[in-house]
């Protein structure tokens, strides 16, 4: 029995601003920053006064997409925003931004805030990577910045990215725009991303598809799940 990767298929997803066509051999799911420091009580995001309930809805959607991509034998990529223990990759301007009660690198309930290897920088358990899946540790909002993400995609000839995660208007949008500049066709999953500010999410969803999809496409997760199930 042939797998999806052994058959050249060019499916189309009903998306905004127009149908999204891709080669099944060259697509990957990207799950951005679903970390404990951002998503769970006691983390960095909550210390900034954010309402965690606003980003909770996207987690089960991302879980379903991960399961579907894995079943289809397609790549699932995970990113986490974190810094070296010596803070050598953390600019002062970023550490002081927002005048937080506790800053990146300070001790928090789940270890040092946003430091690679600490409990808080790890993924929420239900969305944890499986063995062999790529994990990108990034020191900024852009997944391409000071990482080997671009090289990974080029080596594997991945041209299409299905993007999910938090927050919509910060790391998700930044990564999507930078991917577009590098020639990748990106599909942002509307219910697979969230923001602490719902109005920012809505404005971002409108912005990326404006002017004929200047940054990319958006769609609901059901459109992707139904298509993968049908292949």
> 105-162 pLDDT, tens per residue?
999 999 999 999 999 999 999 999 999 999 999 999 999 999 999 999 999 999 999 9
CB-facing half-sphere around the CA of 74: CA atoms within 13 A = 26
Note the helical H segments in the chain: 36-39, 44-47, 58-71, 92-95, 149-155, 173-181, 198-213, 221-230
Domain extents in the chain: 4-84+121-230
For residue 96, how many other CB atoms are within 10 A of its CB?
11
Rounded-to-integer distance, Cα 57 and Cα 88, Å: 34
> 175-214 pLDDT, tens per residue?
999 999 999 999 999 999 999 999 999 999 999 999 999 9
**Dihedral sign of CA atoms 62, 63, 66, 72 in order:** negative
Rounded-to-integer distance, Cα 65 and Cα 207, Å: 24
Rounded-to-integer distance, Cα 120 and Cα 105, Å: 11
Phi, psi of 77 (to 5 degrees): -115, 140
High-pLDDT (> 70) share of the chain, %: 95
For residue 32 the two structure tokens come to: 């951005």
Note the helical H segments in 80-181: 92-95, 149-155, 173-181
CB-facing half-sphere around the CA of 98: CA atoms within 13 A = 14
This prediction has a pTM of: 0.94
Looking at the annotation, which residues are catalytic?
Answer: 33, 138, 171
> 31-55 pLDDT, tens per residue?
999 999 999 998 999 988 999 999 9
- For the segment(s) 4-84+121-230, the CATH number from 3.40.50.850, 3.40.50.10380, 3.40.1260.10, 3.20.20.70 is 3.40.50.850
Q: Confidence class of residue 5 from pLDDT cuts 50, 70 and 90?
A: very low
pLDDT of residue 2 exceeding 80, the answer is: no
75: nearest Cα among 12, 172, 5, 179:
5
High-pLDDT (> 90) share of the chain, %: 89
CB 10 within 8 A of CB 144: no
């Amino acid at each position: 029995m042939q797998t999806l990767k052994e058959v050249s298929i060019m499916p189309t997803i009903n998306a905004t601003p127009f149908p999204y066509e891709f080669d099944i051999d060259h697509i990957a799911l990207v799950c951005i920053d679903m970390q404990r420091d951002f998503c769970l009580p006691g983390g960095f995001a909550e210390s900034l006064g954010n309402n965690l309930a606003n980003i909770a809805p996207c987690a089960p959607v991302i879980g379903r997409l991960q399961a579907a991509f894995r079943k289809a034998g397609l790549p699932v990529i995970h990113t986490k925003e974190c810094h070296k223990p010596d803070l050598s990759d953390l600019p002062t301007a970023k550490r002081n931004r927002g005048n937080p009660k506790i800053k990146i690198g300070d001790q928090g309930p789940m270890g040092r805030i946003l430091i690679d290897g600490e409990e808080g920088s790890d993924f929420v358990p239900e969305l944890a990577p499986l063995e062999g899946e790529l994990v990108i540790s990034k020191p900024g909002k852009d997944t391409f910045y000071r990482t080997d993400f671009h090289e990974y995609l080029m080596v594997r000839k991945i041209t299409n990215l299905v993007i999910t995660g938090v927050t919509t208007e910060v790391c998700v949008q930044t990564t999507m725009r930078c991917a577009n500049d590098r020639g990748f066709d990106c599909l942002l999953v509307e219910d697979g991303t969230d923001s602490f500010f719902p109005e920012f999410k809505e404005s971002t969803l409108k912005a990326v598809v404006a002017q004929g999809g200047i940054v990319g496409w958006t769609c609901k997760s059901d459109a992707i799940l139904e298509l993968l199930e049908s292949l």
